[in-house]
A and B are shown apart, each in its own frame.
Chain A
Amino acid sequence: MENGGEATKWRFGAANPALEAAGRQSIRSIVSGLFDSLDKSDPRPVAPLGHGDPSAFACFRTAPAAEDAIATAALSGKHNCYSRAAGVEEARSAVAAHLSRELPYDVTAGDVVITAGCNHAIEIMMAVLAAPGANVLLPRPGYPLYESRAALCGLEFRHFDLLPDKAWEVDLDGVEALADENTVAMVIVNPNNPCGCVYSYHHLAKIAETARKLGILVISDEVYDHCAFGSKPFVPMGVFGEIAPVVTMGGISKRWMVPGWRLGWIVATDPCGVLREKKVIQSVIDYRAISVDPVTFVQGALPQIIANTDKAFFENAMDVMRKTAEICYQKLMDIECITCPHKPDGSMFVMVKLDLSSLDGIHDDVDFCSKLAREESVVICPGIGLGMKDWLRITFAVDPSLLEDGLERVKSFCKRHGKTKEVN
């Protein structure tokens, strides 16, 4: 039968267009493409300022209590089994208690669905909302996994702006202009990736009022919950759950610095029970039943992870983050072709504008980032991947001296590529 007379005509291989559309947005592909253009012969350490993952740095190591909790759960033999679709009961209860501490009402275990990270929560919510003809409103700049997963399930998305001149607040007039009778939800990310801002109580209240006026739910992506180190405190959107139904998404990836553990949640923070009536949580559980499960022993460890991690761990982590955000901001101010409209006070990122007119031979943000990677072994994320061409997203959740070194290299790159000043 081996390669007989005619070659076999294989019928598979045509692309899934939805998957192609979805893949185009992938931040992971953009950043890994940049890693691939690094000069391997450069002896300097790579400064990975393009994606948010501080777990590799000793100064951001997770709490020993969290690691111990995982080890205990893994060795117990009690969590090697499949878990239920909504998640391990103790994990659901632990998340409910954890969130309730900051809300004016109680969230119960029944309101919680455990997911394999907050990325998984995004996947699920886009699928649940993908009714024929529906649309969702997404922030720009944003986190492109929303667009990818919406594209994959045929859910239309429209963008509203975050306003750089107003500390990246949501353009609420823009939201109202964009929405129509098929709009089902708007997404906010607070503390914000990519902008590094933290929304005020007041602004969140206005977002809730707008959502109520439009009859839509708010998906509040709080994966960076409590990652606020400036003057503004973190306020959970669920505080306004009576005004408009809020789906709160979160996880342990950022606060505990363990994105590789893949543990997140979707929670109905909705004291009026509208999400329950509309069967949103039930649909979430139905999707989870045919989707990936989070690792059972990580779920099993969650109550101890939450209970046994000292406040001191979080305080220290925020101290380091505050320091690195300051280093980042100061060094950026030193670079002429870069403008930072808002000093970061939360999450792990800052968005900065590139002034191409002061650079020679660099035609856009993608070109800037490719050349920077190759010439200086510094990886930065081009803003076009997030909806803002000629902007850059920089992470400061990096070991302070490596961050300083990396930004110094960016500065010399910009000098080297600067347009020569004309002498009149």
Chain B
Amino acid sequence: MHDRHGRTHTESKYSLARSAPHLALMENGGEAAKWRFGAANPALEAAGRHNIRSLVHDLYDCLDRTDSRSVVPLGHGDPSVFACFRTAAAAEEAVVATALSGKHNNYARAAGVEEARSAVAEYLSRDLPYEVTADDVVITAGCNHAIEVMMAVLAAPGANVLLPRPGFPMYESRAALCGLEFRHFDLLPDKGWEVDLHGVEAVADESTVAMVIVNPNNPCGCVYSYDHLAKIAETARKLGILVISDEVYDHCVFGSKPFVPMGVFGAIAPVVTMGGISKRWMVPGWRLGWIAATDPNGILRDKKIIESAIGYRAISVDPATFIQGALPQIIANTEQTFFENAMNVLREAAEICYQKLKEIECVTCPHKPEGSMFVMVKLDLSCLDGIHDDVDFCSKVASEESVLICPGSGLGMKDWLRITFAVDPPLLEDGLERVKSFCKRHGKPRR
């Protein structure tokens, strides 16, 4: 190792010895220093095993750098890099205005900037049969942060939470990190990926505190009906648990089913609604989300859930103050046409994705996506040669075709694949064509 003057390690040590002789005596004296740090934190290791970011990142490492074709990133949901999904100019202007105002360079309060809390309360109240107030809202640094906060708040000794499978592995990571037990219930591919409510009842016990639903759904791309959400609420009530409704994809619906906020059923069972601007405004890099008590009976307040969330936020990361400050304008100034256009592109992309997947024999799509940015498809390994599971499939597709897809094993469903269609349509088409030729090339020869 050379230091900044081009000297070797030994030479620079010698010069340290010349300038500070008393220190030289300490340098690698007789014995090497025995360093006592470095043992792993087992909770962090357990949490890391569910790390979707590394899973997809490792696939990037499989890419063939000599392939001149563009990389087609169908493995993670981030449309912000594509011009067709650029965020609203009004949102960018709002953020720049607050950044330049000099009024939002300060630390914010733990629950968030007041105007941001009020803006979110008003935004959510529009679609609910009751009013949410600013006090019911805690601003977080994105919906991922909301997940972190809720898992910590619920981690009482012996408690468990029920998580969907397939799911979003940040829940498992953060639960593992704070020692909160989690159990899985299934989403049923033959029933539009609805929650297996019998399974929920079977897996719950007296230590179960909450169940998580994601609607519109990542990874399945489904949108739950009013009826189904009502049944979920009734089940939660029966079990005495709260519902965490992850609505980061709120309003990202482009099929026949409308988005219904779970908070509509907040009088049946208390609902903690989580959301953010990352998906609807296509700005995951801005890190702005929220936790809201959508609970007209005030049970979450009685049980101090929001207070605990604020307590956690007081010792946790803050969202950038100026982005919080811009939130009222971001919400107020973004026109409906922006959202309509974004949904039109997503609808088109979802259609392309679904049609092309139908052309690929070894892939089955049980449910045409109608919301969020993803679809789950089943891989039929029996018609492929020399590909032993979903991870192998994804590694080879990455290295041979420069297409990235997320293996279902990372989400709790081995031999399934999660594909995002929130990609520039021509690139999406190209990528799926390459997946089709990959499957042909690796197909078992017909007898």
Q: How far is the CA of A242 from the CA of B51 in the complex (A)?
A: 34
Residues of A within 8 A of B237 (CB): 1, 8
Q: Which partner residue on chain A sits nearest B170 by CB separation?
A: A290
Give bound CA distance, A361 to B207, whole Å: 49
Q: How many Å from the CB of B146 to the closest CB on chain A?
A: 10
Other-chain residue from A85, A149, A257, A260 in contact with B321 (beta carbon distance below 8 A): A260
User: Is B18 engaged at the interface, CB distance under 8 Å to the other chain?
Assistant: no
CB closest chain-B residue, reference A131: B39
Contacts A10-B240, A29-B314 given; indicate if A260 touches B41 (C-beta within 8 A): no
Residues of B within 8 A of A287 (CB): 44
Contact call B26/A212, Cβ cutoff below 8 A: yes
User: Which residues of chain A (104-132) have a CB below 8 Å from chain B?
Assistant: 104-106, 116-117, 119-120, 123, 127-132
Report the Cα distance A149→B43, complex, angstroms.
14
Annotate A271-298 by CB proximity to B: 1 below 8 A, 0 otherwise. Answer: 1111001111001001101111111111
Minimum CB distance partner of A115 in chain B? B317
- Kindly list the 6 A-B residue pairs having the minimum CB-CB distance in the complex, ordered from nearest: A296-B285, A260-B321, A13-B303, A278-B38, A131-B39, A14-B156
B167 interface hit (Cβ, 8 Å): no
In the bound complex, residues from chain A placing their C-beta under 8 Å from that of B360 are none
Q: In the complex, how many angstroms separate the beta carbon of A180 from the nearest chain B beta carbon?
A: 10
CB < 8 Å neighbour of B155 from A16, A25, A217: A16
Contact B319 A262 (CB under 8 A): yes
Please determine whether A2 and B268 come into contact, CB atoms closer than 8 angstroms: yes
Binary contact readout B223-262 vs A (1 if CB under 8 angstroms, 0 otherwise): 0000000000010010111100000000000000000000
Q: Which residue on A lies nearest to B111, using beta carbons? A: A32
User: Which of these, B42, B48, B92, B106, contacts A55 with CB under 8 Å?
Assistant: B106
**Is B318 in the interface zone, CB < 8 Å from A?**
yes
Among A37-45, A181-189, A412-420, which stretch is in contact with chain B? A181-189
Interface size on B, residues (CB 8 A): 106
Whole-angstrom distance from the CB of B318 to the nearest CB of chain A?
6
Task: List the B side residues contacting A75 at CB < 8 Å.
Answer: 92, 96
Cα distance, A252 to B411, chains bound together (Å): 37
Contact of A295 among B43, B157, B178, B286 (CB under 8 A): B286
The contact string, 1 if C-beta is below 8 Å from chain A, for chain B 197-213, is 00000000011111000
Interface string of A70-105 (1 = CB under 8 A from B): 110011010111111100000000000000100111
Residue in A19, A70, A283 whose CB lies within 8 Å of B153:
A19
**Chain A interface, DSSP helix/strand/loop, else mixed:** loop
Contact B41 A74 (CB under 8 A): no
Q: Are A56 and B284 in contact (CB under 8 A)?
A: no
B105–A106 touching, CB < 8 Å: no
Residue on A nearest B299 in the bound complex, by CB: A10
Q: Are B322 and A260 in contact (CB under 8 A)?
A: yes
10 examples of A-B residue contacts, CB within 8 angstroms: A2-B268, A9-B240, A28-B109, A28-B315, A132-B42, A217-B35, A242-B13, A260-B108, A260-B318, A291-B148
In angstroms, Cα B240 to Cα A295, docked, is: 38
Q: Which residue of A lies closest to B45 (CB)?
A: A286
A289 B48 Cβ-Cβ under 8 A = yes
Q: Contact: A243 with B26, CB < 8 Å?
A: yes
Asked if B142 is at the interface (CB within 8 A of a chain A CB), the reply is yes
Pick the contact of A292: B43, B54, B145, B285 (CB < 8 A): B145
- Asked if A292 and B317 sit within 8 Å, CB to CB, the answer is yes
Query: A51 near B: Cβ within 8 Å?
Result: yes
CA gap between A55 and B1 in the complex, in Å: 41
Taking a contact as CB atoms under 8 Å apart, the answer to whether B38 and A280 are in contact is: yes
Q: Quick one: which of A23, A56, A117, A214 contacts B36, CB cutoff 8 A? A: A214
B159 touches A14 (CB 8 A): yes
The residue in A82, A153, A260 that gathers the most chain B C-beta atoms within 10 A of its C-beta is A260
Decide: A271 and B3 in contact? CB cutoff 8 A: yes
Binary interface profile of B, 175-191, with partner A (CB < 8 Å = 1, else 0)? 00110000000000000
Q: Is there contact, CB below 8 Å, between A23 and B321?
A: no
Query: Which residues of A (324-347) have their CB < 8 Å from a CB of B?
Result: none
7 other A-B residue contacts (CB within 8 Å) besides A286-B48, A295-B285: A1-B237, A29-B110, A105-B3, A123-B316, A145-B315, A217-B35, A279-B40
Contact B105 A260 (CB under 8 A): yes
0/1 string, B1-25, CB within 8 A of A gives 1: 1111100010011001000100100
Cβ of A163 under 8 Å from chain B: no
Which of B76-84, B127-135, B365-373, B427-435 participates in binding chain A? B76-84
Q: In whole angstroms, what is the CA distance A131 to B39 when docked?
A: 6
Q: Inside 8 A of A259's CB, which chain B residues have their CB? A: 105-107, 321
Assess whether B170 is in contact with A292, with CB atoms less than 8 Å apart: no
Chain A positions within 8 Å of B308 at CB level = 15-16, 19
Contact A278 B311 (CB under 8 A): no
Q: Which residues of B contact A120 (CB under 8 A)?
A: 317
Chain A hits for B241, CB < 8 A: 10-12
Interface residues of A (CB under 8 A from B): 1-2, 8-20, 22-23, 25-26, 28-29, 32, 51, 53, 55-56, 61-62, 67, 70-71, 74-75, 77, 79-85, 100, 103-106, 116-117, 119-120, 123, 127-132, 134, 145, 148-149, 152-153, 181-185, 205, 209, 212, 214-217, 242-245, 257-262, 271-274, 277-280, 283, 286-287, 289-298
Q: How far is the CA of A242 from the CA of B14 in the complex (A)?
A: 12
Is B414's CB within 8 Å of the partner chain A? no
Cα distance, A381 to B97, chains bound together (Å):
33
A400 to B117, CA, bound (A): 33
In Å, the complex CA distance between A294 and B27 comes to 38
Q: Which of A62, A116, A185 has the most CB of B within 10 A?
A: A116
CA distance A103 to B106 in the complex (A): 31
Check B26 against A209 for contact (C-beta < 8 Å).
yes
A239: shortest Cβ distance to chain B, in Å? 9
Complexed CA–CA distance, A82 and B285 (Å) = 5
* Given known A1-B237, A8-B240, contact A80–B39 (CB-CB < 8 A): no
By the criterion CB–CB under 8 Å, are B27 and A82 in contact? no
Residue of A whose beta carbon sits closest to that of B297: A3
**Contact in complex: A82, B78 (CB < 8 Å):** yes
In contact, A26 and B86 (Cβ under 8 angstroms): no
Considering the chains assembled together, what is the distance between the CA atoms of A83 and B266 in angstroms? 35
Is B356's CB within 8 Å of the partner chain A?
no
Closest chain-A Cβ to B221's Cβ sits at a distance in Å of 19
The contact of B51 among A79, A185, A290, A297, by CB within 8 Å, is A290
* Distance in angstroms between the alpha carbons of A68 and B170 in the assembled complex: 35
Min CB–CB distance A8 → chain B (angstroms): 6
User: Which of B41, B109, B237 neighbours the largest number of chain A CB atoms within 10 Å of its CB?
Assistant: B41
Evaluate contact between B287 and A1: CB separation under 8 angstroms. no
> What per-residue 1/0 map shows which CB atoms of B275-294 lie under 8 Å from chain A?
00000001111110000000
Bound-state Cα–Cα, A56 to B106, Å: 6
Q: Give the complex CA separation of A8 and B299 in angstroms.
A: 11
Checking B35, B104, B208, B209 against A245 with a beta-carbon cut-off of 8 angstroms, the contacting residue is B35
Q: Cβ of B33: which chain A residues have Cβ within 8 Å of it?
A: 212, 215, 244
**Among A10, A14, A29, A292, contact of B270 (Cβ-Cβ < 8 Å):** A10
B438 within 8 A of partner (CB): no
Chain B residue at minimal CB-CB distance from A55 = B105
The answer to whether B47 has its CB under 8 Å from any CB of chain A is yes
Q: How far is the CA of A34 from the CA of B187 in the complex (A)?
A: 49
**Please, which residue of chain A has its CB at the minimum distance from the CB of B39?**
A131
Please name the residue on chain B nearest to A56 by beta carbon: B106
When chains A and B are docked, how far (Å) is the Cα of A144 from the Cα of B8?
A: 41
- Of all chain A residues, the one with the shortest Cβ separation from B207 is A11
B36 near A183 with CB under 8 A, answer yes
- The complex places the Cα of A417 from the Cα of B82 at a distance, in Å, of 66
Q: Beyond A12-B303, A82-B76, is A283–B41 a contact (Cβ under 8 Å)?
A: yes
Among B142, B145, B267, B311, residue most surrounded by chain A Cβ atoms (within 10 Å): B311
The residue of chain B having its C-beta at the shortest distance from the C-beta of A258 within the complex is: B105
